[in-house]
Amino acid sequence: MEKLSESASYRQFLNRHVDFPKSGGGNNRTYCNRIMQRRGLTRPVCKATNTFIHAPTNQIQAICRGAGRCHGRNFCDSNSSFHLTTCRVAPGSRPGRCVYRVRVKTRRIRVACNQRLPVHFNRIL
């Protein structure tokens, strides 16, 4: 049985970092502005940088369950690459008017794991 805080941090990870299938069609220019607001990442401040992973949750969970190389306290690097969209806040943005720049990549990632679930997106490798 998962502790409440651990399942809550996994749910928070899903909200902040997983968008599969990628929402909003093919318009990358407005993608970040829409999804950052929809996911609650623009209040009380515009979150500076956020990366979304476009993959099924079972593939992301697998990084913590043997499909990744783990090291340190709880960081695991994925063996395979993922489709990613990174949103970076543009200068002059403010809550209610957050504007984001979009960068799309396919790369391996590092996540922090707890109870064999990803709970924190650390970085793109």
- Catalytically annotated residues: 17, 120
Amino acid at 93: S
- How long, in residues, is the chain? 125
SS (H, E, C) 77-125: EECCCEEEEEEEECCCCECCECCEEEEEEEECEEEEEECCEEEEEEEEC
Q: What is the DSSP letter of 55?
A: S
> How buried is residue 77: exposed, middle or buried, by Cβ count under 10 Å (0-12/13-18/19+)?
middle
**Torsion sign, CA atoms 88, 76, 12, 59:** positive
